[in-house]
Structure 1
């Protein structure tokens, strides 16, 4: 054990430390965290909509059976949406969803540009604006049904033919483009990360090189800051627009499609593989063992890959509710390659770890607390647990991690690593076999175990069963090591 620890301290820890302090990755992590209020607002809207539009019809469907329920006339199906005030609440929730999840890609674009510019020490507000402008510059223009504006008859037909043949520069200048909402949600993440980084880094480099317009000292600071950003902003937006234009000319497709097809899609496929899920789970535990915040170090993967998949599920849940989610799963629409009507469900997302494996924090430490309360005779452990119990219920395990400690404690390395692995495997298999709904709602990470999974899966009671099973198994994994720690104290005293 000491040899393994020494090897990891020499080769793994330095790499993890560099990753944890790399400014671009830190900016990405902070960007995801900064979006949390909007994400949770969208999650609340999704849950309200699901409850209002399906309850108590969901109970009626279970009692009558799917066939009999489907035969009911629409006026025979009663939901809370029929209640005036509650129905209005559902409509308001729709507006909240429209302002959050529907345009979460735009929100992320600003957060990414803001934090990236801050990492370089330049005007962060301008950085956020540059990133948002970069996203919209690369979106395909969808003029939609423009026949009314062009008129009917031969002139209108000719104009529509011209649109089909290729949108002319004059048409783009004359008519305002329309952007499909599908390009503004979580599907925009990879485009924002790549193209936004190019634009904002170029903007920051020009700012740092003082290629700016400097105003006299008598000019108000806000005006002076705005003028400083003019040249870097113009240059960066023209560079990324040139990249967009060249790719469009060479491939015939907007770059957002190319990124989605050749970068985002392979990552999405890889993310649903149990091997990838387990590798991330292992490294979170290993980093924590050495005192490095595992989820923060791996945030570029957890939030950059699995995070958008969770937001995609959440948007789908708002639109289709849990019955629609289950229908898509039954049709095998669990990846972009097998989408039905361009809709698919991601079976494993960022929130899946919190719901099914990280009880009380990474490593399932809430069960360690219970095991110590039952089996431990060590006064130091029981004292720390007394302090860490309440935070542990709300998924905060730093008092346990550094108080017992688990960090650099060889006796706890095995259960701290193995327990979440077993929980992930059980939850993954249960989800793949459709024994439990996948995570479709982003709930606050401080939500206690069991309740977290119940809410995250769209109020699926089977999630409670899976979590209870995982809690019991995790408890029995931790218990022998707690007992061994008692004997270790006795030997130290002797």
Structure 2
């Protein structure tokens, strides 16, 4: 065991530490975190509409739904301004955090990133109407003069009309646009920041107010960055005949998210999070770029589909980890605390357990992680990693088998365990059963190690 730990400390931890502190990945992680006020507001609106509209309608209480119509409408507006445009909001937070990483003006970074994202959006709508009867020449002339086209194929006449200024909410501005926001946010904001650092700016006299001076200083870097993004988008569309945002969604985003739905991918994420945590590195934060970019995008897609009554696209999302895999925090430490209080005879463990049970109920596990301690404790390494892998396997099997509905609502991480799963699945009572089963399995894994700790001399310490 000591040899394995020494090898990991020598070869694994330095790499993990570098990844965890890499400024671009930190900016990406913090950008997702910064969207939380909007994502939680949208999640609350979606959850409320599930209980005020969807469930009552399924149960035949249409009168109740009609009475709640004003509240349902308000919830819909909140959703429209949050999760429905999550890619738009994220593009701003990403620009701000990248600008912070390069120590340039954060507001300008947000503007550049947002503008770069909007450049790639589809900005027109087109409709094709098949006519039951052939129009006369005068009608065709009126339609043509208005900008439409009339075509005849095998005796069937069709009208094609289009209009500019229509952005596609469902296809581009929600979770499906996040990868494009990431790619162009990085390109535009980094180029902007590099030019700012090289002082390729318009310098104003010292007498000019700071806000005006900053705005003028950002003009040249922003223009260069945005023209670069514009050239990329224009050239790609001209060459391929397809919007780049659609290509990114179909060619990059969709395959990567589909790959993340695999059982091996889920277990690997869980293993890495807990391996890093065991060595005192915040595994969830280090893995956050992957968790949020892939599983967070899937989470937003699920929530938007649930809100609009569409088929839920993904079985496993970011909220699945929070709801079912690590109740009480990484390592299923709520069960560790319960096991200690029920089975431990050691005064030091019992003291930490009593102090940790309150925070543990709300998924705050730092007291037990560093107070027990679990970090760098060879006795607890196996259950700390094995318990969440077991809960992940059970939850994954139950979700993909259809025994429990997929997670569709992003519930705040401090929500107590059993309630969390119920709310996250949009009110599926079977989520409560799954959570109880996972807690029981985790208890079976943790209990032998707590009993074994009773035989150890506390005065020696677990790591001696």
The normalised TM-score by structure 2 is 0.92
1:146 Cα shift?
Answer: 11
The CA distance in 1 between the partners of 2:450 and 2:19, in whole Å, is: 32
- Selected match of 1:81 from 65, 87, 111: 65
Contact 1:55 1:80 in 2 (8 A): no
Partner of 2:86: 104
- Selected match of 2:247 from 241, 258, 273: 258
Partner of 2:188: 199
Partner of 1:73: none
Partner of 1:35: 35
Partner of 1:367: 335
User: Is the alpha carbon distance of 1:57 and 1:181 closer, same or farther for their aligned partners in structure 2, counting shifts above 3 Å?
Assistant: closer
The CA distance in 1 between the partners of 2:352 and 2:217, in whole Å, is: 53
1:275 Cα shift?
Answer: 0.3
Partner of 1:179: 167
Cα deviation 1:381-432 (Å, max 9, x = unaligned): 1121222111111111011111111111111010000000010111111111
- Selected match of 2:418 from 450, 454, 461: 450
Partner of 1:236: 225
Cα deviation 1:309-356 (Å, max 9, x = unaligned): 001101111111xxx5xxx4xxxxxxxxxxxxxxx5200000001101
- Selected match of 1:299 from 288, 295, 300: 288
The CA distance in 2 between the partners of 1:238 and 1:304, in whole Å, is: 26
The CA distance in 1 between the partners of 2:208 and 2:31, in whole Å, is: 32
1:79 Cα shift?
Answer: 4.5
Contact 1:144 1:178 in 2 (8 A): no
1:144 Cα shift?
Answer: 3.7
The CA distance in 2 between the partners of 1:377 and 1:312, in whole Å, is: 48
The CA distance in 2 between the partners of 1:275 and 1:99, in whole Å, is: 36
1:483 Cα shift?
Answer: 1.1
The CA distance in 1 between the partners of 2:259 and 2:105, in whole Å, is: 37
Cα deviation 1:34-84 (Å, max 9, x = unaligned): 101100110111111111113434345xxxxxxxxxxxxxxxx5252221x
Partner of 1:440: 408
The CA distance in 1 between the partners of 2:406 and 2:331, in whole Å, is: 21
The CA distance in 1 between the partners of 2:148 and 2:15, in whole Å, is: 57
Cα deviation 1:117-139 (Å, max 9, x = unaligned): 11110000110111110111011
The CA distance in 2 between the partners of 1:291 and 1:190, in whole Å, is: 31
1:175 Cα shift?
Answer: 7.1
1:226 Cα shift?
Answer: 0.6
Unaligned runs of 5+ residues in structure 1 are 61-76, 164-173, 329-343
Contact 1:106 1:132 in 2 (8 A): yes
User: Is the alpha carbon distance of 1:185 and 1:152 closer, same or farther for their aligned partners in structure 2, counting shifts above 3 Å?
Assistant: farther
1:112-151 paired onto structure 2 within 5 Å:
112-144=94-126
Contact 1:361 1:396 in 2 (8 A): yes
Consecutive aligned runs of 4 or more in structure 1 exceeding 6 Å deviation: none
1:156 Cα shift?
Answer: 3.2
The CA distance in 2 between the partners of 1:12 and 1:446, in whole Å, is: 30
Contact 2:410 2:424 in 1 (8 A): yes
The CA distance in 2 between the partners of 1:56 and 1:296, in whole Å, is: 39
Q: SS of the residue aligned with 2:296? A: helix
Contact 2:421 2:431 in 1 (8 A): yes
The CA distance in 2 between the partners of 1:134 and 1:418, in whole Å, is: 44
Q: SS of the residue aligned with 1:488? A: coil
1:390-401 paired onto structure 2 within 5 Å:
390-401=358-369
Please tell me whether residue 154 in structure 1 is matched to residue 141 in structure 2: yes
1:162 Cα shift?
Answer: 10
Contact 2:123 2:164 in 1 (8 A): no
Contact 1:102 1:185 in 2 (8 A): yes
Q: Report which of the two has the higher share of helix.
A: 1
Contact 1:190 1:264 in 2 (8 A): yes
The CA distance in 1 between the partners of 2:412 and 2:238, in whole Å, is: 44
The CA distance in 2 between the partners of 1:210 and 1:391, in whole Å, is: 49
1:102 Cα shift?
Answer: 1.0
Unaligned runs of 5+ residues in structure 2 are 130-137, 152-161
Contact 1:395 1:448 in 2 (8 A): yes
User: Is the alpha carbon distance of 1:152 and 1:443 closer, same or farther for their aligned partners in structure 2, counting shifts above 3 Å?
Assistant: farther
Partner of 2:272: 283
The CA distance in 2 between the partners of 1:279 and 1:114, in whole Å, is: 31
- Selected match of 2:77 from 91, 95, 98: 95
Cα deviation 1:162-186 (Å, max 9, x = unaligned): 99xxxxxxxxxx9742211121111
- Selected match of 1:353 from 311, 316, 321: 321
The normalised TM-score by structure 1 is 0.86
The CA distance in 2 between the partners of 1:152 and 1:141, in whole Å, is: 28
Q: Report which of the two has the higher share of strand.
A: 2
